[in-house]
Amino acid sequence: MHRIFLAIFLFLAGISNLAQSADFSVISAGVQPKMVKVYGAGGIRGLEGYQSGFLISDQGHILTVWSYVLDTDYITVTLDDGRKFEGEIVGADPRLEVAVLKIDTEGLEHFKLGDSVGVNPGARILAFSNLFKIATGDEPNSVLHGIVAATTPLNARRGAFKTTYKGTVYILDAITNNPGAAGGALTTRKGELAGLLGKELRNSQNGTWLNYAMPINELIPAIEDIIAGKTRPRSFDDDVIRPDVPHTLKTLGVRMVPDVLSKTPPFVDSVTASSEAEKKGLRPDDLILYINDRRVDSCATLRSELELIDQIDDVTLVIQRGDDLVEIILQGE
């Protein structure tokens, strides 16, 4: 009994110590200018049309999660001071479920990705997000506090959680992952960037909700690629070099759905028998997300990207099949 009291005492003393050493109100005030509110598609029952994000460059780059909210031509980004901007998607990595937006302004306060830190279990953290869309205009994002309960690969529970992210996550003891919280910032108690709050995940086996964040360090290479334009379709550039004999959908044995919209989603309609595509397992209804690491958002983009790949080179497709991401490599000739 004596020892239990002592342990409780030490535990309380630990809290008090932290309370004294970190003035969260100052930390919060420092982080808030870097936070943004993201509004896009959704708004119908169960699908909130909003999420969170934060600035990661002085060029107006914003890190957020890749979700249906961004599946629109009109993304609105509201800064901490209430100013509104149209957000343009620079790129996304559906495998990590992250996206980078850009707004047309410079010199804003932002998190420097290079300064972000890793955190260990037991570390006290703050979570900034616009959960439940509580803040509008120039109102500051909500702040929750907690500790990192564990660091663990999410795929340890593969099947339980429907997500394509397979990396390590921070499991948190605060209820950070509420509607709209996705894209929020996880910081240390000093306000250093440590993670990105992920989308809401519910365990399909026991119905519990997971409170977690993706470590920024796991995301940095992908973010840098996105910002560097490496995921941008090459066909968007003027000075691109075209091969004499490129791949075509026909030679690969793929037929896409009829291209009737300005941005027809690149769904596979059918696969030619005994073609390369069939051999490698491409199927009707597969949605093509990436071709050679470049994002494809329409049938038109897919065609123009193919024109840039020499027939002797391999074609790597990332496709979405149901809730899974599948990578398929079609060999060149």
Partner 1 sequence: MTNPSKIITLAVLLSCLPLPALRAQELIVPDDVLASQAQRIAAINKASASTVMVFANGGKGGGSGVLISPDGYALSNYHVVQPAGTAMKCAINDGKLYDAILVSIDPVGDVALIKLLGRDDFPYAKLEDSDKVRVGDWCFAVGNPFLLATDFNPTVTYGIVSGVHRYQYPAGTLLEYADCIQTDASINPGNSGGPLFNEKGDLIGINGRGSFEKRGRVNVGVGYAISINQIKHFMGFLRSGRILDHATLGATVSTDENGNVVVTNIAESSDAYRRGLRYGDQLLSFGGRNISTVNGFKNVLGIYPRGSRVPISFLHEGDRIDTFVRLTGVHSPEELLARIQPNRQQPEGEPMPEGQPDPPAPKEPSPQLPDIVKPFFTARRGFANYHFNKLNQDRIWDTYIDQTKPESITGDWTLRGQLGNLGDVSIVLSKTRVDAELPQGKAFAVLDNDLGQQEAPRGSGGLLVALHLWKHIQQTGIGQFGDVYYLGSMPTPKQDEKQDVLVATHSVIECRFYFSPSTGLLTSMEMYPDLGVDPCEIYFSEYESVNGRMLPRHLEVIHGDTVYGELLLKDFEFNSNGGTE
Instruction: Give residues in contact with partner 1 (CB under 8 A).
Output: 3-4, 6-13, 15-17, 19-20, 23-29, 32, 46, 82, 126, 131-132, 134-146, 173-176, 178-179, 209
C-beta of 10 vs 260, nearer to partner 1: 10
Q: How far is the CB of 23 from partner 1 (least distance, A)?
A: 7
Q: How far is the CB of 302 from partner 1 (least distance, A)?
A: 37
C-beta of 12 vs 240, nearer to partner 1: 12
CB-CB contact of 28 with 185 (8 Å): no
C-beta of 125 vs 226, nearer to partner 1: 125
Q: How far is the CB of 172 from partner 1 (least distance, A)?
A: 10
C-beta of 182 vs 271, nearer to partner 1: 182
Q: How far is the CB of 119 from partner 1 (least distance, A)?
A: 18
C-beta of 146 vs 167, nearer to partner 1: 146
Q: How far is the CB of 197 from partner 1 (least distance, A)?
A: 12
